[in-house]
A and B are shown apart, each in its own frame.
Chain A
């Protein structure tokens, strides 16, 4: 079985400050990890993914995520937050081939001007 935890319902950060949205996972094999973002009235948009290779993955809109196998984490980061980054962020994992995504509950990011 696979699972994802996003321990924070909401993260508040001041514009220009670095942001981190946390995600931890549990899988039986090697994980494929994804981050999605949802803006109001829009579908989930793909941000980035970790498949293999470099533990630091760069994605859309200046976001990056660091895969940490020992801590089973895949935290989303951005060096300098924008007000337009305010949205709902979902972490997702896939384990066995063809098994569907398992999503976290989502973290609301609020960037304060």
Chain B
């Protein structure tokens, strides 16, 4: 069964450094998402991406964040200058469609630790 994959599984970085989290969505999916979960809190939506542009983003997704689909398979989340509060589990997801009934398929997550 096809799966969303994410690398690395764990990233440790110092405050102020740039990080890039990588995701390979399921190959025939067209819609891509990033979510995050701070320890002990809810899974929160960050951004959705379709047709090489952002379709929706949350208040969390400020100028420090950017997303890119650099080739036909990868989908990346970049945090330009990390803060301590960016420490969280980051999940990538993809779906075939964007209708309300479309389920999203999630990767295993990247745990980002900012020190």
Contacts and interface: CB of A to CB of B under 8 A. Distances in A.
A44 B100 contact: no
Interface string B1-44: 00110100100000000000000000000000101000011111
A100 B91 contact: no
A46 B101 contact: no
Contacts of B98: 98
Contacts of A95: 100
What is the interface of chain B mostly: helix, strand, loop, or mixed? loop
Interface residues of A, number: 25
A42 B108 contact: yes
Interface stretch (A14-22, A75-83, A101-109): A101-109
Interface of B: 3-4, 6, 9, 33, 35, 40-45, 48, 55-56, 58, 91, 93, 98-101, 103-109
Interface of A: 32, 34, 36, 41-46, 49, 51, 90, 92, 94-95, 97-106
